[in-house]
Amino acid sequence: MTGDDLRRAILTPPDPPHPLIQDFLFYPSVFLLTGEPGKGKTVIASQLACCLTSQTPLFGTLTIHQPCAVFYCQLEGSLSEQLEHLRLMETVCPIATDRLYWYDGGTRPLNVQDATSWQPVVRQMEAFFASQPPTVHRVVTLDPIYKALVTDLAKAEAALALIHFSDLLLHQLRASVLLIHHPHRERHDARGKPIKEEDAYYGHSFLRNHVDTAYVFRALDAEGETGELVSTKLRGQHSLKRLILQYHPETYTCSMEPVPSEESKEMAIRSYLEVVARNGKQTDFYQVKAICQASPRTVRAVQAKLVAEHLLSVHPMTGKRWIWVPKVPGVQP
């Protein structure tokens, strides 16, 4: 890319990632979901797949903007048990089976380190996606990723093989990629007590650098009735930071409380800044983001509107946070 090409690209940037699921999953992107075995991450991944096919709000709350075609690679566990789970799930989350392909490996498990193994699977993906309308977005789920490798994911060779396979799905098949992963084993301090970690990611850093969005799922009670999804990486920072989920064993699904809309987030920012202005105070970008629980993208958008409306002035500070000075609507300074 020459300097002139770069200038044109800057002036006409590509469209931002397209939201497949409100504030959660985007196209194009690589999404990593990590959770301990048996704690519910496959519940989330399979519910996500079903919701995407039928455009059913994820967790009963998060808007899915259009139906998607999903190729789900179940690389671990019993297929018959998973089918029973899907039967229960469908009672509250319809499945558009013409947009869902379920691959269980059969007698030839997927191995992304061997082209003779993964090429036939990719051809199956291509044929499935080719049967869909060209406007339908595509998603591929690998659950779990360690089963698609024959060597340790902590080794560069394994991580690079998975990255190359993910890139192929992303660019050649034009699919968003959902990777399901296990954390490393529980670690203990010198006294033998478990060490609590915000992110118990296991694997080579190459893979961690490759993904766009990463969440960790944790149970919040001994029964597994309540859990949380906590973001550990948000490239672009336009996804939810934390989701509290309620598990429903009757249907093998999770639900969550509704999240504020973008319009309500903008109103929250405007209301907060008006209070700051009436009190004769100042604030900054990070305070607004934290207090109003808005994404950086939303804060920037509202900032631009308020500056254009002469309701906000931003003062650069060398080596410090820039100062936001809001104004009261209808009151001359």
pLDDT, tens only, 86-128: 999 999 999 999 999 999 877 678 999 999 999 999 999 999 9
Q: Does 170 have pLDDT greater than 90?
A: yes
pLDDT at 258 (0 to 100): 80
Paired strand residues for 137: 68
| pLDDT grade for 197, boundaries at 50, 70 and 90 | low
**Cβ-count burial 246-259 (b if 16+ within 10 Å, e if not):** ebbeebbbbbbeeb
pLDDT at 148 (0 to 100): 95
pLDDT at 192 (0 to 100): 63
Average pLDDT of span 285-294: 89
Count CB-CB contacts under 10 A for residue 79.
Answer: 12
Measure Cα distances from 323 to 283, 303, 319, 326 in Å.
6, 12, 12, 10
pLDDT at 236 (0 to 100): 61
Average pLDDT of span 291-313: 89
pLDDT at 241 (0 to 100): 85
Residues 6 or more apart whose CB falls under 8 angstroms from that of 324 comprise 273, 282, 283, 284, 285, 288, 303, 312, 313, 314, 315
Question: Per the structure block, which two tokens stand in for 9?
Answer: 């690209």
Q: Does 190 have pLDDT greater than 60?
A: yes
pLDDT at 253 (0 to 100): 95
Measure Cα distances from 161 to 63, 173, 210, 229, 248 in Å.
34, 17, 12, 27, 37
Whose tokens are 């993904």? That residue is 211
Give the Cα separation of 171 and 141 in Å (integer): 15
> What's at 127, amino acid-wise?
A
Q: Does 323 have pLDDT greater than 60?
A: yes
pLDDT at 292 (0 to 100): 87
Residue with more model confidence, 140 or 200: 140
Instruction: Specify the DSSP class assigned to residue 64.
Output: B
Question: Per the structure block, which two tokens stand in for 118?
Answer: 């993964």
Question: Per the structure block, which two tokens stand in for 122?
Answer: 């990719």
Give the Cα separation of 199 and 184 in Å (integer): 10
> Residues of the chain with pLDDT > 90: what percent?
65
Which range among 194-198, 219-223, 249-253 has the greatest average pLDDT? 249-253
Average pLDDT of span 145-170: 96
pLDDT tens readout for residues 211-248: 999 999 988 887 778 999 999 988 765 778 889 999 99
pLDDT tens readout for residues 13-62: 777 778 899 889 998 899 999 988 777 889 999 999 999 999 999 999 99
Instruction: Specify the DSSP class assigned to residue 275.
Output: H
